[in-house]
Chain A
Amino acid sequence: MKGIVFTELLEMVEQQFDYTLVDKLLTDSPLPSGGSYTAVGTYDHREINVLVEELSRQTGVPIPDLFRAYGRYLFGRFTQVYKPLIENVHSAFDLMASVEQHIHVEVQKLYPEAELPHFDITRLGPGHMIMIYQSERKMGDFAHGLLEGCLAHFGETATITKTVLDADGSSVQFEVIKQ
């Protein structure tokens, strides 16, 4: 998993709480990498779950909520870090629709080693879309948060109905209906 996901998580924790919690997480969690993350590095994806699990213990916030919140936060960071990628997109729906065909294609070019989830996207109308998330990382909540972050970025309001299609969380359906 790309280093930015780790660095931004720790940044978000530091902003929401303080570095003490960050230190606690890093110290208390069994992390093979030792916890000295850099954005350009690449780390075992299981370490994110370890970190989020520890954070949940420390804060008492359930893990799904933490992932969902981190998704919202990270999309904001993306708009700044990867500005050129979304510059020419003018609506949340367009962006969401182009995730698989455009965003992930470009990401793959930059980071050939990156492992990216797969989205099946069906546009049922101008404000109605069904996205099916599929990934062995089982990070549906994180994706939920990213979608919410996206709507927020474009200032759009929509109801996102999440339906778990596979019990292990490797396949999740999101129905987005613009309001």
Chain B
Amino acid sequence: MSDIDVLKRRFLREKQGRLEAESILEKKALELYVANEQLRQLNENLESEIRKKLAELRESEQRYRGLIESVQDVIYKISPTGIFTFVSPAAEKLMGYTEADVLGRHFNQFVQPGYRESLRDFYLDMLIRRQDSTYHEFPALTKNGGEVWIGQTVRLMTDYEGHILELVAVARDITDRKRAEEALMTTQARLSTLITNLQSGVLVEDEHRNVILVNKLFCDLFAITAAPQSLIGQDCSAVAEDAKHLFVDPADFTQRVAQLLASRELEVGERLYMMDGRVLERDYIPIYLGNQYMGHLWRYSDVTERFNSREQLRRSEEKYRGILNNLELGVLEIDNDQNIVHAYEEFCNMVGYSQEELVGRNVQEILLPTEFHPVISQQQKMRNEGQAGSYELQIIKKDSSRLWALISGASIIDEHGVVTGSIGIHYNITERKLLEQELALAKQIADDARQAEKQFLANMSHEIRTPLNAIIGMSHLLFDTRPTRQQMEFIEVLKTSADFLHSLISDLLDMTKIEAGRIEMHPRPFHLAGLLRATQRVFQMKLENRPIEMDVMIDARITGDFIGDDVMLNQILLNLVGNAEKFTEKGCIQLTAKIKKQENDQCWIEFQVADTGIGIPDDKLGIVFQKFKQINPQGHKHKGTGLGLAITKELVEIQGGTISVKSREGEGSVFTFMLSYAQSVQSTDPAESAENRPVSDAILAQCNILVVEDNLMNQKYVSNLLNKWNITYTLASDGKKAVEEAKKQAFDLILMDIQMPIMDGYQAAVAIRSTHNPNQHVPIVALTASAMPDHKSTALTVGMNDFLTKPFEPKQLFAVLQQYAVPRKMFPVAESERPPANALDRQQLSNIYNGDSEYAMDMFTTFLTDIVPEFAVLAEKVSDQDWPTVARLAHKLKPTLGMVGLTNMQTMLRRVEEMTDSSPAGPQTNSQALQLLYVDFEQELSRMLPLVTEELHRISQE
């Protein structure tokens, strides 16, 4: 029973439990159903919602795709590994790639090689830093190998959990911008390189005065130590203030900078002077963009060198301009056709035209008188040959007056060497021309006066000498006419007076020559000792019968030849010894020569002339060498010109010597002079020297001498003497005849006059010496009218051996004969004196008149009364230089001379006539020679007229 109860209870419990569980499950199932039902409904809603959203999405995508396709920009997507997953069609347009070309490929393939790494780095960086959006630029390769610059904005696409899905990029073609940028950068780089490297200090500031650019040179100029690069961006408004002390005028510098900044106007080439002496040039250049002021540029150039050279140039220009202005030089520029290109101010002032009136005009037409056209043409020709010349011509001024201009012209040659014209510098010489004319006139007058004076002197000299010669000569001859004692005294006085007169004239003429500087040294070898001995002999002869000894003491070392002007020395010795002789009553005159110094071959020889004469008072010693000072007491029998010692001193000094005098009154005087001679290596044999060859009178008498002398008086004088000494001689009246005679026969000596018609003595000597004839080496002694060394030198130069100054005394001639004449043949000594040769051409006269004295008388009278006055007219015409009349008159008068036996004069007049005709341009060039010739003619005439008168007198007494 209990078990059954238990089982029953168990069953009941089980059943109760099952029912309870079933009810719970039933409840749960219902709940599940409801829940399931709800889920199903929810699911259905969700599906429709999804469909709707998907449609919306498709629509949106379509829209975006359209948008993507329509934009210019390329839109593309790449995976995080860099593979293209999408690209918009714009890529084809921009780069030529189709979608197929791009998709699935790595971006590297589309980027310029040099930029691939940087692009990869860009993407990586973006991925690592998970940047949402970035921008990057790079050059991409186009399909055809070209290049396109891309600027892309990239976005990072991630899922909800933050995983990176892809990168979406919008790429834009920025090639143009890039190129522009590059171009800009290049330009900028060039510009800044340019500016930085300019040889000027450059500072570029922006509108706020911040430095944009500055170069090293600028910093150097403004003593800024900071590096130029470090100044960029800095405010530079204080630079001027900081640097002002560098400038000479600091206040002006800063003030000017402020002005420029305020004005904002371009200003170039302002010059600034710095304290250190440099010169700067400043440019201020404002920078405008459109009308917008953007800043400015300062440029400072160191122009010191340029400035200095320009300054020099300017000064030089100014100097020359100043000189030109002061010189009043008118400058004119013309082209090759003589058209005026430029007339400078001074030229315009000169001619009175304005620049405008002159330019373009032809020079010849507007400015030049017709008569000067050839001058210009000639100058143009010379210029074309490259010669610059100066010439004078007249210019017609605007007011028609004329001015004389001295023009210096030169060609203008352009850079190609082509003559483009010429430039002439005109100097107004109108006044100078006037002055010149006046001067020329004055000179003519002066010349005429001088000429007249010269003629007068020459005339006087001859006028006086000729009669003097006669007086002296005749007085000598008078001594031989056995005069009474009283007559003897008269003749003595006559002779002394004539001698004095002669020396007076000679000295005056000599001094004139010395003062005119016409005396020159003619050094040549000469035998010094011989010269001294000769001097001794001359004076020994002179001193014969006087109680005065003439001693010569010669240094033993003085042997052989010395080189010097022996003529001058001779003149000096003659003067000094002559002076001593003049003032010495008795005692001696001593001539001493000794070598004072010898250096190599140069000898300083001291000459001394000492006398025992009256001496010179102490107070007068200082003036003895002065001109026209005569110290001899009044009433002394010797008078002179007072020129002798002055001449002597001049002659000593011309030879570089010195002369002094010592004296004691009443005891005598000592004149000492020193001359320097070179000793000649060639020594003439003293044995050969003429002075060492005493010739006896007897031997002399055997000589044959040729006397060449045109002056009849002198002919007569010499003839008389030679006859007296029984010496054979032949007379020749001119050089030509002398040469002819010299060819005919051999002579032992030729006495040669210098001044002769037809051929003078010099020419004759040359002819004899240079042609083959028997007398080629015969001694020739000149008979000169003047004792002056110049004549004597010439005589020696042409080959003559010595000279004898006219008038000479018989003793002097005799000494010469003794010295030079070496007889070649012996003549019997003729005791009788020969009559002097007749002055008139007797042969001629006898030919004409043949003893018809009446006819002759008639002719002679006519000549003296009618013809002679005609010569005075002729003289006037010669003096007037009226050459045609002179020629006519000469031609007319010429035959009359022959009619009275004046054959030589006839020749002379023929020569006058020839000379007037010799030049078609007229005898101007020969005027002086003609005048001199006529002077000779007149002298001759005055000399001959007495003979003609005498002849007439003789004929009338027949």
What residues of chain A have their CB less than 8 Å away from a CB belonging to chain B?
A: 19-20, 22-23, 26-27, 34-41
Contact = CB atoms under 8 A, between A and B. Distances in A.
Given A38-B24, A41-B24, A23 B9 contact: yes
Contacts of B6: 19-20, 23
Question: Which 8 A-B pairs give the minimum distances between C-beta atoms?
Answer: A36-B16, A38-B21, A38-B17, A36-B13, A36-B17, A23-B6, A38-B20, A40-B24
A37 B9 CA distance: 13
Contact of A34 (B16, B21, B24): B16
Contact of B20 (A19, A20, A26, A36): A36
Nearest to A20: B6
B22 to A, nearest CB: 9
A23 B13 CA distance: 10
A41 B9 contact: no
B93 to A, nearest CB: 61
B10 interface: yes
Nearest to A23: B6
Interface majority SS (helix, strand, loop, mixed), chain B: helix
A23 B14 CA distance: 12
A41 B10 CA distance: 18
B23 to A, nearest CB: 9
Given A36-B12, A36-B13, A38-B20, 20 more contacts: A19-B6, A19-B10, A20-B6, A22-B10, A23-B6, A26-B9, A34-B13, A34-B16, A35-B13, A36-B14, A36-B15, A36-B16, A36-B20, A38-B17, A38-B18, A39-B21, A40-B24, A40-B25, A41-B21, A41-B24
Contacts of A26: 9, 13
A134 to B, nearest CB: 30
A20 B25 CA distance: 30
Contact of A37 (B10, B12, B17): B17
Contacts of B20: 36, 38, 41
A36 B23 CA distance: 14
B29 to A, nearest CB: 12
Nearest to B2: A20
12 contacts: A19-B10, A20-B6, A27-B9, A36-B12, A36-B13, A36-B14, A36-B16, A36-B20, A37-B17, A38-B17, A40-B25, A41-B20
Contacts of A36: 12-17, 20
Contacts of B9: 23, 26-27
B10 A23 contact: yes
A94 to B, nearest CB: 29
Contacts of A23: 6, 9-10
Contacts of B14: 36
Contacts of A38: 17-18, 20-21, 24
Contacts of A34: 13, 16
A39 B21 CA distance: 8
Nearest to A10: B13
A55 to B, nearest CB: 16
B379 to A, nearest CB: 134
Contacts of B24: 38, 40-41
Interface centre among B16, B17, B21, B24 (most CB of A within 10 A): B17
Interface in B1-54: 6, 9-10, 12-18, 20-21, 24-25
B738 to A, nearest CB: 175
A30 to B, nearest CB: 16
Interface majority SS (helix, strand, loop, mixed), chain A: loop
Contacts of A35: 13
Contacts of A39: 21
A54 to B, nearest CB: 16
Contacts of A41: 17, 20-21, 24
B319 to A, nearest CB: 117
A37 to B, nearest CB: 6
A15 to B, nearest CB: 15
A90 B97 CA distance: 61
Interface string B778-822: 000000000000000000000000000000000000000000000
A41 B19 CA distance: 11
B800 to A, nearest CB: 167
A105 to B, nearest CB: 21
Contacts of A20: 6
A20 B14 CA distance: 15
Contacts of B15: 36
Contacts of A37: 17
Contacts of B25: 40
B28 to A, nearest CB: 8
A10 to B, nearest CB: 9
Contacts of A40: 21, 24-25
Interface string B350-366: 00000000000000000
Contacts of B13: 26, 34-36
Contacts of A19: 6, 10
Contacts of B17: 36-38, 41
A21 B10 CA distance: 12
Nearest to A34: B16
A84 to B, nearest CB: 20
A26 B13 CA distance: 10
A76 B9 CA distance: 28
A43 to B, nearest CB: 10
Interface centre among B15, B16, B18 (most CB of A within 10 A): B16
A168 B9 CA distance: 37
A39 B13 CA distance: 13
A11 B16 CA distance: 17
Nearest to A37: B17
B521 to A, nearest CB: 152
A32 to B, nearest CB: 14
A9 to B, nearest CB: 14
Nearest to B8: A23
A26 B9 CA distance: 10
Contacts of B21: 38-41
Nearest to B16: A36
A38 B14 CA distance: 8
B755 to A, nearest CB: 171
A104 B14 CA distance: 30
Nearest to A27: B9
Nearest to B3: A20
A23 B24 CA distance: 24
Contacts of A22: 10
B21 to A, nearest CB: 4
A19 B13 CA distance: 12
A14 B12 CA distance: 17
A23 B8 CA distance: 10
A40 to B, nearest CB: 5
A34 B18 CA distance: 14
A155 to B, nearest CB: 35
A31 to B, nearest CB: 11
A35 B14 CA distance: 10
B951 to A, nearest CB: 195
A119 B17 CA distance: 33
Nearest to B12: A36
A37 B13 CA distance: 8
A34 B19 CA distance: 13
A169 B10 CA distance: 35
A38 B12 CA distance: 13
A27 B6 CA distance: 10
Interface string B392-419: 0000000000000000000000000000
Contacts of B10: 19, 22-23
A37 B12 CA distance: 11
A39 B22 CA distance: 11
A39 B25 CA distance: 11
A75 B316 CA distance: 132
A37 B21 CA distance: 9
A27 B20 CA distance: 19
Contacts of A27: 9
A133 B99 CA distance: 69
Interface centre among A23, A26, A35 (most CB of B within 10 A): A23
Interface centre among A19, A26, A36, A40 (most CB of B within 10 A): A36
